Amino acid sequence: MPSLEEDRILRRYVGVIRGTLRTNYYQRAREAPHDASTTQPTVALKLSPATIPGMPAPQPLYEIWVYSPRVEGVHLRFGKVARGGLRWSGRREDFRTEILGLVKAQIVKNAVIVPTGAKGGFFPKGLPDPAVDREGWATKGREAYQLFVGALLDLTDNLVDGMAVPPPRLVRHDGDDTYLVVAADKGTASFSDIANAIARTYAYWLDDAFASGGSTGYDHKAMGITARGAWASVQRHFRELGRDVQRDDVTVVGIGDMSGDVFGNGMLLSPHIRLVAAFDHRDIFLDPDPDAARSFAERRRLFDLTRSSWQDYDRSLISAGGGVFSRSLKRIAITTPMRTALGLTDAADELSPNDLIRAVLKAPVDLLWNGGIGTYVRASEESDSEIGDRANDPVRITGAELRARVVGEGGNLGFSQLGRIEAARRGIHLNTDAIDNSAGVDTSDHEVNLKIPLSGLVQIGELTYKQRNRLLAEMSDEVARLVLEDNYSQNLLLGHSRERGGKRLGAYLRLLHYLEDRGLLDRELESLPSDQELHTRERVDEGLTSPERAVLLAYVKLALKQDINASGLPDEAWFSHELRRYFPHQIRERFPKLPDTHPLRREIISNVVANSVVNLGGMTFAQRSLEETGATMPEIARAVVLAREVFDIDRFMQSVKALDNVVGTGVQARLHRESRRLLDRATRWILLERPSNSDLGSDIDRYRPGVAAFEQRMDQLLNGAERTRFETDVAELTRAGVPEDLARWAEGLLDAFALLDITDLARGAEEDLTDVAELYFAVTEQFDVDGLLTSISTLPRDELWDSLARSAVRADVYAAAKSLTASVIATTPGTLEVDQRLRQWIQDNAAAAQRAHRSLQQLHELPEPGLAAVSVVLRHMRSVSRSGSAVAGWTLRGGRTAGTTEPGK
């Protein structure tokens, strides 16, 4: 081939042919399956993009391309188990680019649910002008959707009696592929019943779980679930600012109108919303000085109308200088109240509608609430053409121009990622759309995973179809609670991560490298900072922005889910408990064995465990555990679950949650740091001390009773300086508004870590747990273990080797404390009181004990104790338990004397 260009084109054709896995070309039309002359109305190809040269990133696992004279479409799927909506696209030339951008966001959003991301889009052809024939346009669009959905099912295996059954007249160049689910999206909000009817004609195993929503599914607008999830982000941001949006008035500008799901529901979530301005594709609403109560009631009235627009707003309720203005006007007069509310400095007496919308987006308000469609904020370094939303080019602003204090992204793609980052670096509180509006996809995923087993009960006659639907409706509140708990947990994690600012950027950098090395993350594609940029930020104590942390959080969860699902962990019997955590209590109580039969049992367990590990431990936790112990990710996850159950961390977290808007987020962060420090040390202990194949239930039974006996009364075991430190910290927390019982629980968490060693010591020596615990803490008080651990906490940890050394020497301190206690138990009679046993043991090991105490004093005299000094102290501590000398006269700390000879010798 003499022409380079022709050679390239032909090689691409060959690549596509080789990358084709399935086609429906040889199938017959479903309405005439035995008539060879009746061919399919579409041609569909299932492709493997990763094997096709030149495919743009990110590359999905599977792509289905659909063509017919009436419709073209594409469906991109990033895993065998994936979900996402089908969009009626208006972009004939580049709808694949549109869908690829959407699915990239979907992958991140789906980190909190069982499936990974998928997205589909279709472009109907030959439609009449909707301005002339609206009904004909809608009918032809629905028919195009039906053709598109049928083509997807043409290439999808069915599941019959647990076995994959491929479609007829189909050659497969891939493995079984039975899981295809879809959802509503732009232009297809009312199409779920249509999709499910098509699935039934194929006898597809998911039945009406194929397309979530619809007449037998969860109505997201009626539940208000997407808005409620995004509102959880808004509440968190304002709590960090010291405000409660449910009690304090907040000024708001928004994108959308009251007839919309996300905007309408969102603007009814607090009676203290003062909506200053909003716009949709038709009108601009302005109320410069709104009355919160009266405007709330009017928004409720509009929301309850069958269809409404801002033009339906009662003008008598709009404050002076405001109004509702059509976007078709040439110019809009600017009043003094408008100028004040929008912070306009321009002296112009009138603006074009587009300029007024830009002023609304730039308004100096408390909250910008996005409940609309379109991208309205980009970065200064980006051009409008790079955004790919030409319709909103005239109104788009930059992140640097944004003046709202908080952003709630109920809608998708309202900001470019670089626009978010630019805004965040200027102090604006925001996450990403994937975090804020994940409740919608989370609810859909619960719906599908409930319908699958319940439909099985219908098939065997245990439930009627009506009873199943009634049960689904009964569970809607519980499903909403489970979903909103996910939103809360992710916001909590991001909030604590932000609170740490630029600290520990080294750990984040290593995490980025880890994800990149595994081929899971493309930093450039996700707009994450380079190594050089991170080092620059570190020098000025600037960390990752919240939008950057949100993206990283998603990839951490996706990676952990992947690892757990590929391991044997989901098959362990105990993890059926994790499976049940996913389901509403109605299922757990009425059909307790039903979850175990779920075809996605492993995937659900992997999702629940991965989310729990990351939410409790933090983004860098699992990767740091891997660095420090060499354990696999599933082993780390298993250890976290054991630690969580033994120390009842979930209950502790709920107790801290109850303090929302009672104490500041900084106080709550301090409480959570204590639980994370415990989780960190307990997980590493479990990985190093317990066999990886031990029975999890037995391990919980082994350690939980001892922890439960003391977890809220650790102060009773502490002595001397440890007891003083404990009481001082408890008093500080109670002054900050923390209930005393919770303050004592929190401050005792790190001390309670020792109960793991204490339990093993008591079982090994067959002694009473309380006696051993009292002896252990008497030993740690004598050797100032608390002070030694404090010295270790000052050691550097940003670099990997520093972090590993710090962790190792801390573990050595606990090992030394255990060894010293074991020595006391082994060499003194159990019939003696604790003080007597310790006195006798010190007397028998006085020289070595005195040496260790002297080195401890020298350590504390150092202005900055280093690793070398700590290591020497540890060596002296370990030598005590091996010492056989009996120099009398050693004085115990606290004034107790071990012998009768002259003190100090």
Residues with catalytic roles: 119
What token pair was written down for 436?
Answer: 């804020």
Alpha-carbon gap, residue 545 to 421, rounded angstroms: 6
Q: What angle do CA 212, 598, 103 make, to 5 degrees?
A: 40
Task: Tell me 529's DSSP state.
Answer: P
Do the Cβ atoms of 534 and 505 come closer than 8 Å? yes
List of E strands, 343-476: 350-351, 367-370, 377-378, 397-398, 406-409
Structure tokens, 768: 């009473």
Instruction: State phi, psi for 526 to the nearest 5 degrees.
Output: -95, 10
Name residues whose C-beta falls within 8 Å of residue 239's C-beta, 6 or more positions apart in sequence: 495, 660, 661, 665
Rounded CA gap, 880 and 620, in Å? 37
807-810 contacts, C-beta under 8 A, 24 or more apart: 807/628, 807/684, 808/628, 809/867, 809/870, 809/871, 809/874, 810/681
Burial bucket for residue 541 (CB in 10 Å: 0-12, 13-18, 19+): exposed
| Separation between Cα atoms, residue 506 and residue 502, nearest integer Å | 10
CA atoms lying within 13 Å on the CB side of residue 442: 36
- The maximal CA–CA distance of the chain, rounded, in angstroms, is 111
Strands, DSSP E only, in 289-358?
Answer: 323-326, 332-333, 350-351
**Packing angle, helices 665-689 and 720-735, rounded to 10:** 140
Q: Are 245 and 235 within 8 A, CB to CB?
A: yes
CA 610 to chain centre: 10
Q: Is 727 in contact with 715 (CB distance < 8 Å)? A: yes
End-to-end Cα distance, the chain: 96
Cα separation, 335 vs 348, whole angstroms: 10
> Residue 209: CA atoms inside 13 Å, Cβ hemisphere, count?
20
Is 313 in contact with 298 (CB distance < 8 Å)? yes
Cβ proximity of 106 and 433 under 8 Å: no
Distance between CA atoms of 322 and 277, rounded to whole angstroms? 9
Task: Work out the burial of residue 904: count CB atoms within 10 Å of its CB; fewer than 13 is exposed, 13-18 middle, 19 or more buried.
Answer: exposed
Query: 527 and 417 in contact (C-beta within 8 Å)?
Result: yes
Q: Is 875 exposed, middle or buried (0-12, 13-18, 19+ CB in 10 A)?
A: middle
Q: Helix, strand, or coil here: 753? A: coil
Helix (H, G, I), strand (E, B), or coil: what is residue 870? helix
- The bridge status of strand 367-370 relative to strand 250-255 is parallel
Going by C-beta distance under 8 Å and a sequence separation of 6 or more, which residues neighbour residue 399? 377, 378, 379, 380, 415, 418, 419, 420, 421, 422, 423, 424, 426, 428
Adjacent-strand bridge partners of 64: 46, 75
Q: What are phi and psi for residue 159, nearest 5 degrees?
A: -125, 115
HSE value, Cβ hemisphere, 13 Å, CA-based, for 696: 21
Q: Shortest CA distance to 501 belongs to which of 538, 469, 473? A: 538
